[in-house]
C-alpha cells in the first residue's frame, strides 16, 4: 500500500514538472510572437493555455484525493501541500505568457515594442524561460541548492523591470502614452512570471527541509 502511495506522489511530481515545461514553452513562444509580430505563434499560445488550466485541475484533483484517502504525514504531507500551491503558481505563469501573447495579437500587424526597448524584453524573456526550465529540474530532483540559486535570475528580471520605468519616464521618450502603458504591463508580466517560478522552487525547498524560505512583499500571489 505504501509503495503504491509513493508511486502516486512521484506521479504528482511528474505532472508538476510537465506543467513547468508547458509554461516555459508558452513564454518562449509568446516572447517570440511579441518580438517578431508573429500572429500565428501568438494564437498558438492563446489556444494552448487551456491545456495548462487542465493540467492544474488534474494536479489539484490528485493532490486532494491523496489528502482525503491516504492521510499523509511528515514529508509526504509536505509534498502534497507543495503540489497544490505549485500547481497554482504554474497555472498563473501560463496566464502571464497568455497576456504577452494577447498583446502581440492585439497590436498585430504593428510591433508591440519600439526598437529601443526590445533588447530588455528579449533578455527578460530568456531569463523567464530559463527559470521555468530550471523549475522543472528542481521539481524532478528536489535539488535545494539549485532551487535557491534561482533567486539570482529573478533578481536580474527585477533589475530590468525597474530600469524600464526610467526609460519610459525619460524626457526624450517619444513613443507616447499607449506604448508606455503596454511596456509597463508587459514588464510586470515578466516580473510576476519570474516570481512565480521562484515560488515553486521555494516549495520544493519546503518539501526537502520542512522550512519555507521567507517571502518578500513583492512575492504575493497576485497576477
Q: What is the per-residue pLDDT across 96-109, written as a single tens digit (0 to 9) for each? A: 999 999 999 999 99
pLDDT band at 191; cut points 50, 70, 90: very high
For residues 65 and 14, give the distance between their C-alpha atoms in angstroms, rounded to a whole number.
17
End-to-end CA distance of the chain: 40
Averaged pLDDT for residues 149-164: 97
What is residue 71's DSSP assignment?
-
- Rg value, the chain, Cα: 18
Q: What's the CA dihedral at 146, 130, 95, 40 to 10 degrees?
A: -160
Q: What is the per-residue pLDDT across 116-125, written as a single tens digit (0 to 9) for each? A: 999 999 999 9
Among candidates 87, 190, 205, which has minimal Cα distance to 130? 190
pLDDT at 163: 97
Averaged pLDDT for residues 128-134: 98
pLDDT at 202 over 70: yes
For residues 81 and 155, give the distance between their C-alpha atoms in angstroms, rounded to a whole number.
27
CA 221, chain centre distance (Å): 12
For residues 6 and 170, give the distance between their C-alpha atoms in angstroms, rounded to a whole number.
56
pLDDT band at 219; cut points 50, 70, 90: very low
Mean pLDDT of the chain: 92
Domains in the chain, please, with CATH? 2-219 (1.20.58.220)
Burial 11-34 (b: 16+ CB within 10 A, else e): ebbebbbebbebbbbbbbbbbbbb
- Alpha-carbon distances, residue 172 vs 10, 97, 167, 182 (angstroms): 55, 30, 9, 18
pLDDT at 166: 96
134: Cβ contacts below 8 Å, ≥ 6 apart: 146, 150, 153, 197, 201
CA 1, chain centre distance (Å): 35
Amino acid at each position: 500500500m505504501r509503495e503504491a502511495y509513493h508511486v502516486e506522489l512521484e506521479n504528482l511530481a511528474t505532472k508538476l514538472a510537465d506543467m513547468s515545461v508547458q509554461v516555459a514553452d508558452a513564454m518562449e513562444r509568446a516572447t517570440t510572437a511579441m518580438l517578431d509580430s508573429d500572429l500565428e505563434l501568438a494564437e498558438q499560445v492563446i489556444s494552448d493555455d487551456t491545456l495548462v488550466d487542465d493540467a492544474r485541475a488534474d494536479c489539484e484533483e490528485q493532490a486532494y484525493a491523496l489528502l482525503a484517502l491516504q492521510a499523509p504525514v511528515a514529508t509526504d504531507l509536505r509534498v502534497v501541500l507543495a503540489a497544490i500551491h505549485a500547481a497554482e503558481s504554474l497555472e498563473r505563469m501560463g496566464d502571464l505568457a497568455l497576456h504577452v501573447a494577447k498583446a502581440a495579437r492585439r497590436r498585430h500587424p504593428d510591433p508591440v515594442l519600439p526598437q529601443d526597448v526590445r533588447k530588455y524584453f528579449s533578455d527578460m524573456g530568456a531569463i523567464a524561460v530559463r527559470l521555468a526550465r530550471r523549475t522543472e529540474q528542481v521539481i524532478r530532483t528536489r535539488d535545494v541548492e539549485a532551487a535557491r540559486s534561482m533567486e539570482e535570475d529573478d533578481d536580474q528580471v527585477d533589475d530590468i523591470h525597474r530600469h524600464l520605468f526610467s526609460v519610459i519616464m525619460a524626457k526624450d521618450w517619444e513613443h507616447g502614452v499607449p506604448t508606455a502603458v503596454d511596456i509597463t504591463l508587459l514588464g510586470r508580466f515578466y516580473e510576476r512570471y519570474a516570481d512565480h517560478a521562484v515560488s515553486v522552487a521555494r516549495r520544493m525547498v519546503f518539501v526537502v527541509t520542512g522550512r519555507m524560505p521567507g517571502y518578500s512583499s513583492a512575492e504575493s500571489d497576485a497576477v
